[in-house]
Amino acid sequence: MNNMIKPLLIVLLSVFSIIGCSEDTKIWNGQSENWNATFQGDGVFTIRYIGDEVSVENISFLFNTDTGLKADGNFEDLGSRNLIKAQVVTDNVISNGPILLTIEWNNKKEELTLE
């Protein structure tokens, strides 16, 4: 009987560790005329400028979710990669629905809905 319990315990522990280590893989995506954004369930978000302007400056952004999560930031410029990448750390659910991103730059403003 003892010989059967050890393999069963190993299998059960493996299953529990896999379940415990899995993370929310939900990904929200959205695009506007000048921006492309992705927000992942683990809190990592990427905002990429896809417009034609050579100089993108004075960038501010705000993510709003239906769970009340807000993530915002300000940058003087995007640098040569035209990219903002960061992570929100929270124990709460990121969102149960779409995420709204408001972004301003060069005295312009766009809103994206990430679904």
**pLDDT tens column, 21-67:** 444 589 999 999 999 999 999 999 999 999 999 999 999 999 999 99
Q: What pLDDT score was predicted for residue 80?
A: 87
Exposed e or buried b per residue across 48-60, where buried means at least 16 C-beta atoms within 10 angstroms of its C-beta: bbeeeeeebeebe
Q: What is each CA distance from 95 to 30, 56, 99, 111, in whole angstroms?
A: 15, 29, 7, 17
- 91 confidence band (pLDDT: 50, 70, 90): confident
Instruction: Tell me the pTM.
Output: 0.77
Rounded (10°) CA dihedral 65, 53, 33, 39: -30
Tokens describing residue 6 = 């050890």
**Average pLDDT of 66-84?**
93
SS3 14: helix
SS3 65: coil
